[in-house]
Amino acid sequence: MPKFTDTYRVRPGKKLDLTKFDPRDTKPFDGDKDAGRARVAELNRRLEELQEALYAQGRHRLLVVLQAMDAGGKDGTIRTVFDGVNPQGVKVASFKKPTPPELAHDFLWRIHPHTPACGEIVIWNRSHYEDVLIARVHELVDEDCWKKRYDHIRAFETMLADEGTTILKFFLHISKDEQRQRLQERIDDPKKRWKWNPGDLQERRHWDDYQRAYEDALTATSTEKAPWFVVPADRNWYRDLVVSEVIVATLEAMKIELPPGEPGIETLQVT
C-alpha cells in the first residue's frame, strides 16, 4: 500500500481526533487535479482486471464500507471508483432508515444478508455504523446500548474476516463549509434538486455531535482485520484517488490470478 494512503488509516487502540485530518488534503499531488485524475483512471483499469480475476477465481471476498456526513460523496465515490467493473461480481447495498420489520430484530439482522459471497465485491452505502451514529446523536437508544454495540460490531467483523472476507472501511471526511456548499448546490442546480432532503438541514445542526460520534466509533472499531481510513473528501478527485489506491493495493496483496482453465484446453479446436 502506498505510504501516503497509509497515513489515513486509523490505528487500532489510538484515539482518533478528526481535527488532525485536513478534509482538503491532497498530498502527494499538491493539488494537481489533472495528475490525480489520470492516476484514478489508471487505478480504475487495474481494478477492472483485479475484479475480473476475483470473480473468476471465486475464492476471495471484499467488503467496502462507506460512511460520511450528508453530501459527503458516497454515491460519487461508488460511481467513479467502480466505473467499468463487471456488475456480475460487484454489488451495492444502501441502508436507509430501518423498516418496522428491521426494527423488530437486532441491529445487525438487516446487515448480514448483504455481506459478499466468494468472488464478490460488495459496497455498503451507509452501514451498521448508523446504529452507533444516528442512534446515538438522536438518543434512539440509551448510552449503555450504543456503547455495547461497538463490541458487537467488532465481533461481527472479526467473524466475517475469519471466514475469509477482507474488509475496508472509509469515512469520507468533508468540512462543514464544504457540506454547506454542496447542500446549497442541491437547491440552486435543477439537475441536483432530486437529491435535496430538508432533513439534511436538521442533521447539519448536529454537526459537532456527529463528529464526536464518528471519532468514538472509528476509534472503537478500527482493527487490523477491519481498518478504518479517514479520507480527505472536500476534493472529489483526491477522495476517489485515495479510495482507489487502498482498494487496488489490497486486492493486489491477495495474489489473485485468472484460473488457468482445464488441463489440455490449449489443444482443443472448435468445429
Confidence of residue 3 (pLDDT cuts 50, 70, 90): low
pLDDT digits (tens, 9 = 90+) for 198-241: 999 999 999 999 999 999 999 999 999 999 999 999 999 999 99
**pLDDT score of 4:** 66
**pLDDT score of 79:** 97
**pLDDT score of 2:** 53
Q: What are the backbone angles phi and psi of residue 200, rounded to the nearest 5°?
A: -60, -35
Q: Over pLDDT 70: what percentage of the chain?
A: 99
**pLDDT score of 1:** 46
Residues 152-187 as b or e (16 or more Cβ within 10 Å = b) = ebbebbeebbeeebbbbbbbbbbeeebbeebbeebe
Provide the grid cell at 264: 489440455
pLDDT digits (tens, 9 = 90+) for 159-198: 999 999 999 999 999 999 999 999 999 999 999 999 999 9
Q: Specify burial of residue 67 (Cβ count, 10 A radius: 0-12, 13-18, 19+).
A: buried
CB contact at 8 A, 118 and 59: yes
Angle between helices 74-81 and 33-57 (to 10 degrees): 70
Cα(257)–Cα(217) distance, integer angstroms = 36
Q: Return the DSSP state at 125.
A: E
Single out the residue of 43, 65, 41, 47 nearest to residue 172, CA to CA.
Answer: 65
DSSP, collapsed to helix, strand or coil, labels residue 13 as coil
**pLDDT score of 191:** 94
CATH class of 3-257: alpha beta
Provide the grid cell at 225: 482485520
Domain boundaries, the chain: 3-257
CB contact at 8 A, 64 and 122: yes
Q: Which residue has the higher pLDDT, 22 or 30?
A: 22
